[in-house]
Amino acid sequence: MKNILVTGGAGFIGANFIHFELQKHKEINIFNLDALTYAGNPRNLENLPDPRRYNFIHGDIRDRQLVRRLLEENKIDTLVNFAAETHVDRSINNAQPFLDTNIQGTFALLEVSREYYSSGSSLPEFRFHHISTDEVFGSLNPTDPPFSETTPYAPNSPYAASKAASDHLVHAFHHTYGLPVTLSNCSNNYGPYQFPEKLIPLMINNALAGKVLPVYGDGMQVRDWLYVEDHCEAIDLILSGGRTGESYNIGGNNQPANIEIVRNICHILHHLAPGSRRYEELIQFITDRPGHDRRYAMDTEKITRELGWVPRESLETGLQKTVEWYLENQEWVRSIYNRPDYQSWLGEHYGTRGGTQ
Ligand code: NAD
Ligand code: DAU
């Protein structure tokens, strides 16, 4: 049996990864360490394929004693670090939690992993895999080539800077101490269980509720979008075949402008849940995000060449599936939407910039 410690597995991508791994591999146990911040949701882990091979531990990645005990008692051979503060807009309002979890938290995991690995109590094939983002590379001009693994880091938001710092620490622990690490830098994910503050679920749920669809600035910012299950498959391949010390770029090989995404969502909803008025009429251009990165694009040639990974979903099929998932899981959405902390985030964030929710 393999024993995987997943951190942040009650969040969007981590939960999808746990579903994916338990479905794909019969010979693994998963231990999920999650602090259950506003973004963590135990409901994301209901209906797991084989719950007997899943264990939840409520705790913080900065708790070294706890992490040490988890590694040793469960003979962990693989640690996958998803735990992070992830919303760029929140990092602009208050960067402190981003520094605490993304930098200090990753550092704590690295320190404990190094002790565990060098004490000989770990299995020889121990692996520390760190989940990162394309945002560490900064922003591209319209004609710039896409980010590759050798593009210099140039993070712009406090979120991106905190992720860049954690990536540097991960590389440094490999270079200096020989800790067997791999990293992956991924573009924007979308799919089931994404917290409703992010663009795609926010637009789906606002449209269904007849609320404003708040597009920042001119809506011409470009992102690369990856269906979350494709991301999970890429991580799975890196864990089995990725070279230690290496990072791998992952992306969906598409670059639509935000406004196109929002219009596509309206179009899909028009067919699946026709309303009395056209959803597109709800679009409003509102005050831009400060320091908003204009364009991201990913060169995924390395992971394709080395590990044979290509995304299975196109943006069209992935968006269709995602809208269907949110339509079928309105109760899950409401359980977050009705929380006072989420309501106050919406009021605080959108109230002042024109997209009153
Ligand atoms: P998310 O915000 O949905 O979930 C984060 C999870 O981490 C939550 O369950 C939360 O409770 C947990 N967490 C936060 N602080 C913690 C701490 N100190 N100790 C333990 N657990 C803690 O995030 P996500 O969108 O699933 O992103 C997961 C990872 O993928 C992050 O590292 C993020 O930077 C990276 N990433 C995300 C995207 C994306 O589009 N969502 C793209 C590229 C990379
Ligand atoms: O690129 C990978 C990153 O993608 C991850 O590292 C982050 O954790 C993740 O949150 C995501 O960051 P973005 O800032 O790109 O995602 P978000 O969904 O917040 O916004 C996507 C785009 O949509 C961005 O250009 C801002 C815009 N936007 C977002 C919101 C929430 C709007 O126009 N209106 C909105 O209300």
Shortest-distance Cα residue to atom 6 of ligand 2: 133
Q: Looking at ligand 1, which atom is closest to the CA of residue 101?
A: 18
- Spatial distance between the Cα atoms of 85 and 38, rounded to a whole number of angstroms: 10
- Residue 125: the pLDDT is 86
Q: Which atom of ligand 2 is nearest to the CA of 224?
A: 1
Report the share of the chain in percent with pLDDT over 90. Answer: 95
Band the pLDDT of 352: cuts 50, 70, 90. Answer: confident
pLDDT-wise least confident of 121-135, 172-186, 330-344: 121-135
Token pair of 36 as six digits: 């259950």
Note whether 161 and 102 are within 8 A (CB): no
For residue 268, pLDDT over 60 is answered with yes
Q: If you measure from the C-alpha of residue 79 to the centroid of ligand 2, how many angstroms do you get, rounded to a whole number?
A: 27
Average pLDDT, the chain: 97
73 tagged catalytic: no
Measure 88 CA to ligand 2 centroid, in angstroms.
7
Please tell me the number of the ligand nearest to residue 283's CA. Answer: 2
Residue 122: per-residue pLDDT: 66
Model confidence, pTM: 0.98
- SS3 for the chain is CEEEEEECCCCHHHHHHHHHHHHHCCCEEEEEEECCCCCCCHHHHCCCCCHHHEEEEECCCCCHHHHHHHHHHCCCCEEEECCCCCCHHHHHHCCHHHHHHHHHHHHHHHHHHHHHHHCCCCCCCCEEEEEEEHHHHCCCCCCCCCECCCCCCCCCCHHHHHHHHHHHHHHHHHHHHCCCEEEEEECEEECCCCCCCCHHHHHHHHHHCCCCEEEECCCCCECCEEEHHHHHHHHHHHHHHCCCCCEEEECCCCCCEHHHHHHHHHHHHHHHCCCCCCHHHHEEEECCCCCCCCECCECCHHHHHHHCCCCCCCHHHHHHHHHHHHHHCHHHHHHHHCCHHHHHHHHHHHHCCCCCC
134 is catalytic: yes
Exactly one of 21, 60, 134, 313 is catalytic; name it.
134
In percent, how much of the chain has pLDDT > 70?
A: 98
Active-site annotation holder among 21, 135, 233, 236: 135
Ligand nearest to the CA of 80: 1
Give the tens place of pLDDT for each residue, 91-102: 999 999 999 999
Which of the pair, 275 or 129, is modelled with greater confidence? 129
Ligand 1 centroid to Cα of residue 341, in Å, is 18
β-pair type (127-133, 181-186): parallel
Strand partners, 2: 28
What token pair was written down for 234?
Answer: 């890429």
Ligand at minimal distance from the CA of 260 is 2
Rounded CA gap, 178 and 194, in Å?
35
pLDDT, residue 355, reads 60
Give 276's pLDDT tier (boundaries 50, 70, 90). Answer: confident
Q: Which residue's CA lies nearest to atom 27 of ligand 1?
A: 13
pLDDT in tens, 182-230: 999 999 999 999 999 999 999 999 999 999 999 999 999 999 999 999 9
The tens digit of pLDDT for each residue in 284-316 reads 999 999 999 999 999 999 999 999 999 999 999
Q: What is the mean pLDDT of residues 39-56?
A: 97
pLDDT at 319: 98
Q: How far is the CA of 223 from the centre of ligand 2 (A)?
A: 8
Ligand 1 centroid–CA 11 distance in Å is: 6
The pLDDT assigned to 124 comes to 72
Q: Catalytic: 230?
A: no
Closest ligand 2 atom to the C-alpha of 292? Answer: 25
